[in-house]
Amino acid sequence: MLAVCISRVTLVPVFKPRAATVFLRARWYSTPTEVPLPNKSKVWASADEAVKDVKSGDVLLCGGFGLAGVPDTLLAALVKRKEVTKLTGVSNNAGAGDSGLGKLLNSKQIDKVVASYPGGNKAFEALYLKGEVSLELCPQGTLVERLRAHAAGIPAFFTPTGASTAVEDGAIPMRYNEGGFANGVKIPGIKKEMREFGGRKYIMEPAIAGDVAFVRAWKVDEVGNCVFSVRQPLLFAYLSTEHADSRRYTQQNFSTVMAKNAKLTIVEADQIVPTGSLSPNAIHVPGIYVDRVVQATAPKQIEHIKLAPSPSSSGKQSTLTPEQETAQKMRHRTAKRAAKELKDGFYVNLGIGIPTLIPAFLEPGVRVWLQSENGILGMGPYPTAEQVDADLINAGKETVTLLPGASVFDSSESFAMIRGGHVDLSILGAMQVSQAGDIANFMIPGKLVKGIGGAMDLVSNPDKTKVIVVMEHCAKDGSPKILKECTLPLTGARTVSQIITELAVFDVDRKNGHLELVELQEGVTLDEVKAKTGCDFKVRRDLSKL
C-alpha cells in the first residue's frame, strides 16, 4: 500500500528514545474534511486564450534570469496579438534572440524596458542607443525589491544600493532623441531622494506595480499553488520516485515576487497537477496570487553551456595564438593571487570574467561557499555533459552544479544576503577604479550598455563585505584603469578595499582616499607600475614580490 500512496504522502521518521528502530508514519498532504473545495479551476485551455486580456500600455512583468525560467509559451502567444503595443516590459534581462522580452522587442510591441542587465541582447542595446526604445536601468537587487515592495503594499523604501552614483543623480538617460546619443536626451533619468541613516547614505526607490505577470513554474495545481523546486523531508526525498525529476533549482529568480505583484498573474507550468497533490510545505507561491494557469509548451534553452574539462582534453595542444596565451597567463596570475584572500568557510560572491577562475587556485584545505545572485549558495564546478540542467545556471548564465549542503532561493532572498553584509567577500572586475576605492564597471555612455546587474548591490555594504577588484592593469589602448578619479559612471563610491592586477596588489584606504602598493607580481618593477598607474600611491616599506 505504501508504494501506491507514496506520491501523496510524506514519510516522517519517528525515533524511539531507547531503541534503534525507526518507524515511518504517513502524513497526508491535506487533512480530510467534509467541507467541499471551491469548484473553480484556474487552468485555461490555451496560452492564446489566457493572454487575451493583456492590453496596449500595460506594465508586463516577465520572470526569468537569462533563459532560465523564462515564460516563452505566454510570450509567444502575446506576440500573435500585434494590436497590443506600447508595453513596458519589466525583467532582469532584455531577453536574448527570440526568447524572453526579445520576442516582444522583435515584434515591436515594447516601448520601454525596466531591467538590470540588458547587455545580453545586442539588438536591444542598439535600439536604446538609437533612441528607439526607453530604458530604466535598475540595480538587480533594487529591481527585485521594488517588485516585492508593491506586492506587500509598500510604496517605496530606502536602500544603500546606488547611493553616490548615477542612479542617485538620475544621470542615466531613459531615452535618447531620435537618431541616438549624438542628438541628445529625450527623457532624462529619475533623480532619487537621499537620506542618511546611522551615518550612511540611502536613496529612496519607488515600488513597481505590474498590470500583468508572466511566470514559468515547475509544478502548479488547479487552484494556482506554484512550486519552483522541491521541498520535502530528507527520508522522503530518497524514497520518492520523483526525486530524479525534481531539479528546478534557479528557476525561481524573479518569478516568485512577480507572481505576487501583478493585477493579473498568468503561470505556465511544466506540470499541472490535481488540487491537493502538492505538499503545503512545498509551495513557493500560494494560489491567492495566481489568476490563470496554462501548460508550458516552449522548450527550455541554455544561454551558455559550460562544461567541466574532460580528462582526455588535458593533453590536447592549445589552439590559442601567442597573444591569447600571454593574456590567459596574465589572467591566471591575477586569479591565483586573488585566491589567497579566500579563507576556509568564507561565503564569497564571484563576478564574471577573471573572478570565475579563482576557485581553481584555492590554497590546499580551503573550502568556500560560493553565492550566485540568481539564487544559489553552495555553487559547484561546471557540469559534465550528462549533468547539464537548463534550470541550474550561475549569474553569468553558465551551466553549473551544486555542492552537498547547497541551497537555492529566489532573487529577493539572494539580495537580502548581499545588502545585509552576510557575504564575506565580493570579487568583481572593473573598467576603472579610483585611488579612493570608487569603482566603474557597467557602462560607457553612448557606446556600451552592459547593465548594472548585481554589482551595485555587491559593493553596497563594504564595511561588512570586503570588496576586491581583479582586472587587467591597463585598458586595451594602454591607458591606466587605476585613476585619481573615475571618468565613467560609478558602480559604487569608496567601496573597494583591494585591487589585484597582473602587475601588482594595492590596498585601498577608503576613508582617506589613498592607495598603497603592497606587492609586485614576479618580474614586475616598481617603475613599470608607476608608469602604468594613473594616480599617486604609497609604497609599503616591506614591499614583497609574489
As annotated, the active-site residues are 373
State the angle between helix axes of 411-419 and 140-151 in degrees (0 to 180), rounded to the nearest 10: 120
- Helices of type H across 179-321: 234-239, 255-261
C-alpha cell at 394: 550561475
Interior angle at CA 104, CA 103 and CA 109, nearest 5: 155
Strands 212-221 and 200-206, how do they pair?
unpaired
The span from the CA of 282 to the CA of 267, in Å, is 17
Would you report the helix, strand and coil content of the chain in percent, each value rounded to 5?
A: 25, 30, 50
Note the Cα 251 to chain centre separation in Å: 11
Give the chain's end-to-end CA distance (angstroms, integer): 67
Q: Which long-range contacts (CB under 8 A, 24 or more apart) does 23-29 make?
A: 24/235, 26/2, 29/276, 29/277, 29/278, 29/279, 29/280
Question: Is-contact 155 175, C-beta < 8 A?
Answer: no
Q: Are 128 and 105 in contact (CB under 8 A)?
A: no
Q: How far is CA 159 from the centre of its chain?
A: 18
